[in-house]
Chain A
Amino acid sequence: MSDLTVERLPPLGMVTIRGELSKIGDAIVGETGCAVPAPRMSERSGERQLLWMSPDELMLVCEYGEAGATADALTARFGDAFATVVNTSDARQVFALSGQHAEDALASLMPVDFARMKAEEVRRTRMAQIPAAIWREGEGWRLICFRSVATYAEDLLRGAKTVGG
């Protein structure tokens, strides 16, 4: 039996931030306390985490309840800068994965070179037939996918065939 625990988590606060990062970076740091992450990386500040999504997109992960207010505050800070902030906390399902075979299970579903994945890296990729993203959280993993395919994702993870056990 493989040692893998798959847990559906209640929604996290997620705020999509788009804009020229060089121009809005200071405002982001000021509001979130997180540094602007390097490409494919993430930065943390307390419960908040800033994930690099693309050259002009970040995602702030925070407590569900504070996402709306944080989004409004960010919009206010950006002022006239060309930037868009959207609360997308309900768009995704968050999974917590733990256990000795978590990485093994993910490697059966995702084209990710886990051996070369850095501790702070966020990997936006594909899990079988859906888009998904992962990052490390403690000893385990956080995995997000769109909420409409959460059941598919859970079925995939629970049925994942590991090499190790």
Chain B
Amino acid sequence: MSRRLKIGGRLIDRSRPVTFTFDGRELRGYAGDTLASALLANGRMVMGRSFKYHRPRSVVGAGPEEPNALMGVGEGARFEPNRRATLQEVYEGLTARSQNAWPSLGLDIGRMNDYGSRFLPAGFYYKTFIHPRPLWKHVFEPFIRKAAGLGAAPEQADADTYAHRYAYCDTLIAGGGVAGLLAAKAAGEAGERVMLVESRADWGGRSVTDGAEIDGKAADTWVKDILQHLDGMENVVRMSRCEASGVYDHGYVLCTENLTDHTSHKDGPRERLWRVRAGRVVAATGAIERPLSFAGNDVPGVLLASALRDYVVNHAVSMGERTVIVTNNDDAYRTAKVLLKAGLRVPAILDVRSAAGSAIVNEVKAMGVAVHHGRGIAKVHGDDRVTGVSVCLQAGEGHVMQEIRCDCVAMSGGWSPVVHLWSHCGGKLWWDEVRAMFRPDPDNPPSGADGQGFVTAIGAASGALTTAEVLADAAEAMDTEAPVCVAEEEGPIQPVWIMPEAAGPKLRTKMWLDFQNDVKVSDVRLAAQEGFESVEHAKRYTTLGMATDQGKLSNINGLAVLADRLDTTIPQVGTTTFRPPYTPVTIGTLAGEARGVVFQPLRRTPMHDWHEAQGAYWEPVGHWRRPYCYPKDGESHDEAVTREIRATRNSLGLLDASTLGKILVRGPDAAKFMDMLYTNMMSSLKPGRCRYGLMCDEQGFLMDDGVVARIDDQTFLCHTTTGGADRIHGWMEDWLQCEWWDWKVHAINVTEQFAQIAVVGPNARKVLEKLGGMDVSAEMLPFMAWADGTLGGFDLRAYRISFSGELSYELAVPATQGLALWEALIAAGAEFGVTPYGTEALHVMRAEKGFIMIGDETDGTVVPQDLGLDWAISKKKEDFLGKRGQQRSEFQKADRWKLVGLETIDGKPLEEGAYAIGEGRNANGQQRVQGRVTSTYMSPTLGRGIAMGLIERGSERMGETVRFSRIGQGPQEARIVNTVFFDPEGEKANV
């Protein structure tokens, strides 16, 4: 049974006990414990169930590589699944619960998957797609859905807040081990702006745990001294509990800083995302020990030799009384020393190497530990925890030579440098045959904008192993002097990928590679056998390395097994891609402040608050909110729209048109530029006049429309659609900056400068005359003219333009005057029953007039000719954007769908997006269609449903009746008519 040792534990504070709960049970730990170490201290070995087979699992590691000990931490609005117990620090009141187990961690019904595991081989999921077909829907899919997914999703909105912070430095050092500390000192003393981040709470890394000696001092003293030195430098910033999660182009690094995950209080942001631009990145991220693949290597009590050292030294926690160590290198002997020093027993060390004679091996042998060379583990005994091991020859098939009773197995398969930050932006690796590891290739670093490498891997992350090596490597990379450190001779590693090397199928199905995703040696071999030779394919087929630990323990072992099965070499197979983040980052952290009211910018017109006070029902239009309608007490939206339309058509309506784009185009070449932008002729427009125009992209497709006013010889004001303002401004700048750079034209977006109000209806002129000022008569300000002047004391520009078919003025005033003018119009219009109207009334009224709407009648595949807008396409102009595109044969076809009006026979409106039903069926057996509805409304003016639609040869088929689809009902009939339903001569607007 795991338990707390009476002495030791360099990270725990025995004077500060804390109480926490796990699966409802109250447990005690100490400040400085991780959740994993505290659970072990309480004898709780089993911490989770594996993903696929629901096997009981305990910790394998003691850090970010841990695949098994995933838990739900927190409660209610602060619950989060899949947190690593090895990283989660305990605090007073912490609550954690196990996951992926039902009904409980101890008794889990899903375990039956394990007993039937031979029916769930690699690629099982994909194979279920194939046959038998009916089983997928009724058997496999429900089964897999139930089994899939680790942890439970939170059920409440996150109560925490998150912050972002932008930061800049010359050198960002990731990792606060001895290499990172030395690098920070060197860069700091050189006067650089330095950021040093360490993901854990404590500094110094393995060297401190392993009790190294640096500069004649104990490593922890050396670390304390250097930290003090760094804190004395203003140009050095250091942060613990802050992980460098990802490296991106141009020296951009995301670091995630934990602020309250380790505290009882939850005040302030939970995490801070540091968005750093670094001149260079130094990856001092250490290395991760590899497991060994022997049968039963996942039984609780089997763990990495270094992790066991961490638990004993850092937290004074033992996994068991008797630990068998199995290794292929010298490093695991350090674990033996630590265990013996703690008074625990090491009945045997199984060293696969036929001989080993380095100092540490001899030292351990001299301490009386039985070292069996050339041996490995055939099988681990035990179910919910280790009870013993069967010993075999590593070179054999697994015949049992001896059984050793033990309750813990410490394994070491060598070390893999943490090359993630090196690799995120494309740093290359090389396979070091001697050390059996992929190491950063200094000749192929990730390169920045200048073509030079911007990431340097130092210390263990670059492949150095002992403290002396690590410091020497860091010193060389940082061009500084290495501290004095006694070099430790280590014997060579003997790579082992399967134990024993000739293990048969029975053993291979119990050798775990990926603990979290339950991928075994047999699965990877099966994938190779079935033709998945690329490591990327084999990964996806078997799910090796696809779990939340992203294969930190499994990748190298897995690809080595793959290489062996394919009779090729490890570097030939290569690694899968290392992608950020290094460990999972919460979505909340990435979102930062972007939640609640600032989830997205909301654009408000100068009259926004007025609309809100009137109870406007909002419609999002881009980032704007526009009133859809203004429902009065008890009114439905339909009723409100009807009332608004009738009031406008019969007397006076007001529309907030401020959102429409307003782009000033000015310069000696402005007229030439306008002729290129619009399909119709704009250069002939006289100052003081307005003209409706169309804009197409180079393909000829209609992309925006609006009214252009000519201000003077060199100046035009272009109105765009609400959603088009920024896009069209960008479009203009694109042409001016990239193509016609020598044209003298400025395009300035003045959308935000003006509030614009449409004053619409038969009484529009009367209300303006009542305000008094400029002459707004038909003679002085005729249809499609504009004039500057004053009305009611407001300096404004009045445009005689109409999108409703009514007598209409659009008044533009500086934005700060918008609300005052609006209120003046409301007051003056009272006697005419002035009615503010929203976007839906606007839409219905424009449809009654047959005016198109970008985004309704157009969808990116429609040319103006399809909409019967040939009149707006100049035949005289030599060129305009879209001219050549429109000449393509596809657009000349006689059977193009053309815009028509549609009048339903039954008077009810057509359904939104309904299809016009054609004759027969197409090659896929689907009903043929001959068109579709683009806009459909109930017209209060006409008292019937009206619509516009694109119909095959529609313009030639006036009077024909066409059937339209309806959801859940039989087709609806409509007659093809002219698009202009109301006032075809335009008499109402032109008065």
Mask of B130-172 contacts with A, CB within 8 angstroms, 1/0: 0000000000000000000000000000000101111110000
**Pairwise interchain contact B667-A148, C-beta atoms closer than 8 A:** no
Q: List the A side residues contacting B748 at CB < 8 Å.
A: 16, 18, 84, 86
A61 nearest CB across to chain B (Å): 15
Q: Number of B residues contacting the other chain (C-beta, 8 Å)? A: 43
Q: Which of B272, B593, B601, B751 contacts A160 (CB 8 A)?
A: B593
Q: Enumerate B600-628 residues with CB–CB distance to A below 8 Å.
A: 600-606, 623-624
**Pairwise interchain contact A107-B167, C-beta atoms closer than 8 A:** yes
The stretch among A25-33, A38-46, A135-143, A151-159 that forms the contact with chain B is A151-159
Mask of A98-120 contacts with B, CB within 8 angstroms, 1/0: 00000000011111110110000
**Quick one: closest B residue to A116, CB to CB?**
B168
Does A128 have its Cβ within 8 Å of any Cβ on chain B?
yes
Q: Enumerate B164-221 residues with CB–CB distance to A below 8 Å.
A: 164-168, 193
Interchain pairs with CB closer than 8 A, number: 102
**Quick one: closest B residue to A106, CB to CB?**
B166
Q: List the A side residues contacting B163 at CB < 8 Å.
A: 108, 161
B736 nearest CB across to chain A (Å): 11
Contact A148 to B668, CB < 8 A, known contacts A84-B746, A108-B593, A113-B277 = no
Contact A147 to B815, CB < 8 A, known contacts A84-B664, A84-B667, A111-B166 = yes
Mask of A77-92 contacts with B, CB within 8 angstroms, 1/0: 0000010101111111
**Pairwise interchain contact A91-B815, C-beta atoms closer than 8 A:** yes
Q: Which of B272, B602, B605, B664 contacts A163 (CB 8 A)?
A: B272
Does B366 have its Cβ within 8 Å of any Cβ on chain A?
no
Does B79 have its Cβ within 8 Å of any Cβ on chain A?
no
**Pairwise interchain contact A109-B164, C-beta atoms closer than 8 A:** yes
Does A129 have its Cβ within 8 Å of any Cβ on chain B?
yes
Contact A91 to B593, CB < 8 A, known contacts A107-B167, A111-B275 = no
**Pairwise interchain contact A88-B604, C-beta atoms closer than 8 A:** no
Q: Enumerate A42-90 residues with CB–CB distance to B below 8 Å.
A: 82, 84, 86-90
B118 nearest CB across to chain A (Å): 53
Q: List the A side residues contacting B753 at CB < 8 Å.
A: 86-91
B739 nearest CB across to chain A (Å): 17
> Which interface class (under 10, 10 to 19, 20 to 34, 35 or more) fits A?
35 or more
A160 to B163 CA separation, bound complex (whole angstroms): 8
Q: List the B side residues contacting A110 at CB < 8 Å.
A: 166
Q: Which of A11, A91, A112, A156 contacts B598 (CB 8 A)?
A: A156
Interface of B is mostly: mixed
A149 to B659 CA separation, bound complex (whole angstroms): 13
Q: Which of B598, B604, B744 contacts A148 (CB 8 A)?
A: B604
Mask of A4-43 contacts with B, CB within 8 angstroms, 1/0: 0000000100001011000000000000000000000000
A2 nearest CB across to chain B (Å): 10
A108 to B167 CA separation, bound complex (whole angstroms): 9
**Quick one: closest B residue to A146, CB to CB?**
B752
**Quick one: closest A residue to B624, CB to CB?**
A148
Q: List the A side residues contacting B400 at CB < 8 Å.
A: none
Q: List the B side residues contacting A89 at CB < 8 Å.
A: 753, 814
Does B666 have its Cβ within 8 Å of any Cβ on chain A?
yes
**Pairwise interchain contact B752-A148, C-beta atoms closer than 8 A:** yes
Residue with the highest number of chain A CB atoms closer than 10 Å, among B603, B606, B751:
B603
**Pairwise interchain contact A128-B161, C-beta atoms closer than 8 A:** no
A115 to B664 CA separation, bound complex (whole angstroms): 37
23 A-B pairs in the complex with CB atoms less than 8 angstroms apart: A18-B746, A84-B666, A84-B748, A86-B664, A86-B748, A90-B753, A90-B817, A92-B752, A107-B167, A108-B165, A110-B166, A111-B277, A128-B593, A128-B598, A129-B600, A129-B601, A148-B604, A148-B752, A149-B602, A150-B604, A156-B593, A161-B268, A161-B593
Residues of A within 8 A of B (CB): 11, 16, 18-19, 82, 84, 86-92, 107-113, 115-116, 128-130, 146-152, 155-156, 159-161, 163
Known contacts A107-B167, A113-B168, then 11 further A-B pairs from the complex at CB < 8 Å, ordered by chain A residue? A82-B667, A82-B744, A90-B815, A91-B750, A111-B275, A115-B193, A146-B752, A147-B606, A147-B752, A149-B604, A155-B598
